[in-house]
Amino acid sequence: MAANRRATGSGGGGVEGSHLAPPSSRWPFRSIAVVLGVTAFGAGLPTPLYPIYENQLHFSAGTLGLVFAAYTVGVFVTLFFFAPISDYIGCKPVLYVGMLLTVLSGLLFLSATSVATLALARVGSGLAVGATTSTATAAMAGLEPRGDQHHVARVAVAANFGAVAAGVLLSGLFAEYGPEPTKSVFYVLIAASLVGLAFVAMTPETIARAPGPRSFRVPRISVPRDLRSPFWVSTGALAACYSLYGLFGAMAPSLIRVDLAIGNYALAAGFVATMFGSAAFVQLVLGQVRDRRALLVGLPILLAGLAVFVTSDLIRSAPVLVLGAAVLGIGVGLAYMGSVTLIDRISPAGRRPEILSGFYLGGYLALAVPTIGVAESAEFLGLGTAGLLFGASLGVVVGGLFLVLRHTPTPAGGEGRARAPP
């Protein structure tokens, strides 16, 4: 999962391209939403397969954490250093590269016979997500016929979470019932990527290529002093969501098999998909609850979900785990949308790239660091105990964020995007 909006905006120097008028049809908008979903689908596919890889390649939980972190490296590289190029050359060339990187990651997974190859495949998957997701969302913003940017954000987040859920579930079914589980699903990914390439080809460009010289600089991070309190609340909420994404995306299948003794890969995948699917569903039914209000509702739900998740592990209950995953998904969906819409609304137009760079950097650090911490501590404490400590620690953080948010005055919009009507 990557940023649901362009993370760096105008990240370079030189001359930017101008935005073209959106088409009247919704088909191009929906086509790019599918393209966005393809890379998220690919990111979810390896999740149920990690226990199989552990047995085949004989690596530990600590190594698994590092393999997952390789994905984060790939996302970071393209999201911050490649995707902003679309401001100058247009979105379609970057989306072509994103789809080709998705094909490459599928080919690497097909040939993954060592830990190094598996890690390289995860880097490829991260590169594809980083190149595609923010650029696809920017393209969707230019293709939305009514210019409704909140609708763009809702669809982008729903496509991200929903496609990850679909990838996890399909991969779990293949792992349990299909032939060659570590290969079959990646043929599906390659085929989906080729469809994505066709959709990009048939979709109009949203940015006219700029004439003259072009240059690029690494986006810098800077937050105005009067915006730092809401910035840290938004970034903390995003980090909490990404931490859960990392745990469920890397460690949850092994945790379910070890602590709940559920050996069915499809059932284990169903638990994980429940969390991501619930987060996607929230965007469709509660999409009008946004920024500070979404955080005030979402953070307590997230805290309740963590309590249920920890309880399910303590009492070894699969039904309670399903309930916890669903509640966590609702909380993640609200908190993610709230953090993104709040940071977007308070960011002055001229400072948006600098603020959003720091915002998403905090999120991606949270995607990797806690996952590595859980994986490494599992070597000494056991996976169940490490998961319990993670849940309890994150609960303290989420509770603290909620208390700070209640006492944090939020700017009414400043020079940034005005609050959209509900």
206/274 same-domain check: no
- Look at residue 416 and tell me if it is in a domain: no
pLDDT of residue 194: 96
Cα 165 to the chain's mean position, in Å? 11
Instruction: Check: CB of residue 386 under 8 Å from CB of residue 394.
Output: no
Quick: pLDDT tens for 186-243.
999 999 999 999 999 999 887 666 565 555 566 677 788 888 888 888 899 999 998 8
* Domain assignment of residue 278, given as a range: 223-409
Number of domains the chain contains: 2
∠ at Cα 340 (334, 343), nearest 5°?
A: 130
Residues of the chain with pLDDT under 70: 1-24, 207-219, 287, 349-350, 353, 409-422
CA distance 170 to 176: 10
In the chain, how many H helices and how many E strands? 15, 2
192/333 same-domain check: no
Q: Residue 395: which CATH number? A: 1.20.1250.20
Three state DSSP letters for 320-382: HHHHHHHHHHHHHHHHHHHHHHHHHHHCCHHHHHHHHHHHHHHHHHHHHHHHHHHHHHHHHHC
What pTM did the predictor assign?
A: 0.85
41/87 same-domain check: yes
44/69 same-domain check: yes
Quick: pLDDT tens for 138-158.
888 888 888 777 788 888 889
147: left (phi over 0), alpha (psi -120 to 50) or beta: left
pLDDT of residue 350: 66
209/308 same-domain check: no
Instruction: Check: CB of residue 266 under 8 Å from CB of residue 178.
Output: no
253/327 same-domain check: yes
171/52 same-domain check: yes
pLDDT of residue 415: 38
pLDDT of residue 302: 93
Quick: pLDDT tens for 286-322.
867 778 888 999 999 999 998 998 888 788 888 888 8
Question: Which residue is listed with tokens 């953070």?
Answer: 299
Helix (H) or strand (E) holding 207: strand 207-208
